[in-house]
Amino acid sequence: MLKPITEERLRTMKRRLRKKRYLGEFQEHAFELKIDFKQALEEEALMTFLEDFIDAVEARQLDYIGGIDAKWLEGTIMTARRYASPTEEDRQAVSAWLEKRPEVARVETGELFDAWYGEA
């Protein structure tokens, strides 16, 4: 397990190392996403939903990493750009888009967390 980096250590760490380790100004955040569908989707409806979802996510310059099934979708949303993070506005926009979909019964979005080290 990695030892946490103290603020003092971070200040004295060279920029190159902060960049390599995704720390400080190079830290990247992500958020988790869980969806339950109202009923199991047929393959065609599932593929249509997935294509629409990916289009909506990519329109905000985000990426989806995760899995999908006829009854659920679960994964992580992070930015498509290096050394950048989704914003709270991005998180709310993705959640709002999903809540408007008629096939979605429940949407759960987690808080932003450190994408490389799993901490808030």
Per-residue model confidence (pLDDT) at position 10: 79
Mean pLDDT by 10 residues, the chain (120 residues): 72 88 89 97 96 97 96 96 93 97 96 84
- Residue 1 in any domain: the answer is no
- Residue 74 in any domain: the answer is yes
- Residue 7 in any domain: the answer is no
Which CATH number goes with the domain that contains 97?
3.30.70.60
Say how far apart CA 113 and CA 59 lie, in whole Å.
22
Token pair of 75 as six digits: 């994964």
The model scores a pTM over 0.95: no
CA 112 vs CA 48, 60, 64, 80: distances in Å: 28, 16, 14, 15
**Total count of domains within the chain:** 1
- Residue 45 in any domain: the answer is yes
- Residue 2 in any domain: the answer is no
Per-residue model confidence (pLDDT) at position 120: 56
Per-residue model confidence (pLDDT) at position 11: 80
CA 57 vs CA 63, 87, 120: distances in Å: 6, 13, 22
Domain with 99, as residue range(s), is 28-114
- Residue 93 in any domain: the answer is yes
